[in-house]
Amino acid sequence: MKKDMTLLIMAAGMGSRFGGLKQIEPVGPTGEFIIDYSVYDAIQAGFNKVVFVIKKENFTIFKETIGARIEPFIQVEYCFQELETLPKGYQVPAGREKPWGTAHAILCAKEKIKENFAIINADDFYGREAFMDMAAFLQGEDEENTYAILGYEVLKTLTENGSVKRAVLTSENGFLKTLLESNIEKIGQEIIASPLDGGPPFSLEKKAPVSLNLFGFKPSIFMYIEKNFPSFLEETKEAAQTCEYLIPNLICHLIEEKEIRVKFIPTMSEWIGVTYKEDKQAVVSKILHEIEKGKYARDLWKQS
């Protein structure tokens, strides 16, 4: 029997490097956003619900644009990533303005998701094959504490306009071993990763696997996020205004503690994204190329 699957889209960030709300920057020929193509591909892969994690002040613009377009084709829910969503006994630190990070964003969707689900960033184009691969995992894996991550070849995830944030992956026997959050940039013929934990920079091969935050989860992940949130807040008190509770860091911890396993799924899909304003034209051109190949209709939803 086919299982329900939800796509959780993390869209609460404002896109500081891009300089605006890049999640709703038109890139398609009839005003589509990158999110449109992600949702469309997810539907083709069998997902039957989408949940947007957004800021409350952006609800109207999301619902009137992307929401209005996709609601005839898939169940749509919204939840808000708010600073006040904290464990009992904790308060928002003075001066804190930015969201608490990706693990917190997932936690904010707890009441909306009771089925297996995948998470993605709102401003990354993942490729239909990636959604197909993740759907196959979510349909076929019954172990509640076994999750999945898609690994992209690093060269296929870079922009010519600066560094990008990726987690460098290592695997063993088909399962994820480590994730190392890094800023990655191509400098000349070299691909250099600079770990966010302050470790020394290192070179990457062109096909080295990296994460774009495309994870497959079971509902059990909510319990792990809640359980580890207080310790995160205690350990980061000195950086309380800026620290982020990131899902890759939590996954690393849970793997080390042998509480979960994460299946490593390599993909040949090519990333398209708008990290910087200068990236937009390249994204527009790549999407037009996909349309010319017949993968998408020019007016995506009208002809669905």
The rounded percent of the chain whose pLDDT value lies above 70 is: 95
Angle at 98 between CA 6 and CA 90, to 5 degrees: 85
pLDDT band at 20 (very low <50, low <70, confident <90, very high): very low
pTM value is 0.91
Select the more confidently predicted residue: 204 or 65.
204
Is residue 72 predicted with pLDDT exceeding 80?
Answer: yes
For domain 5-292, give the fold: Spore Coat Polysaccharide Biosynthesis Protein SpsA; Chain A (3.90.550)
Cβ 70 vs Cβ 42: under 8 Å:
no
Pairwise CA distance, residues 46 & 131, whole Å: 9
Higher pLDDT, 268 or 205: 205
Statement: residue 181 has pLDDT above 80: yes
Here the tokens at position 268 are 């040949």
43-53 confidence digits (pLDDT tens): 999 999 999 99
Average pLDDT over residues 114-137: 94
Q: Which of 185, 155, 291, 182 is nearest to 246 (CA)?
A: 182
Does the pLDDT of residue 224 top 60, yes or no? yes
CB contact at 8 A, 184 and 211 = no
Q: What count of Cα atoms within 13 Å lies in the side-chain half-sphere of residue 231?
A: 8
Residue ranges covered by each domain of the chain: 5-292
pLDDT of residue 270: 84
User: Is residue 22 pLDDT above 60, yes or no?
Assistant: no
Q: What percent of the chain has pLDDT over 90?
A: 68
- Grouping H, G, I as helix, E, B as strand and the rest as coil, residue 62 is helix
Q: Residue 80: pLDDT above 80?
A: yes
Q: pLDDT by residue (tens digit) across 110-125?
A: 999 999 999 999 888 9
Q: Mean pLDDT of all residues in the chain?
A: 90
Report the distance separating Cα 219 and Cα 235, nearest Å: 26
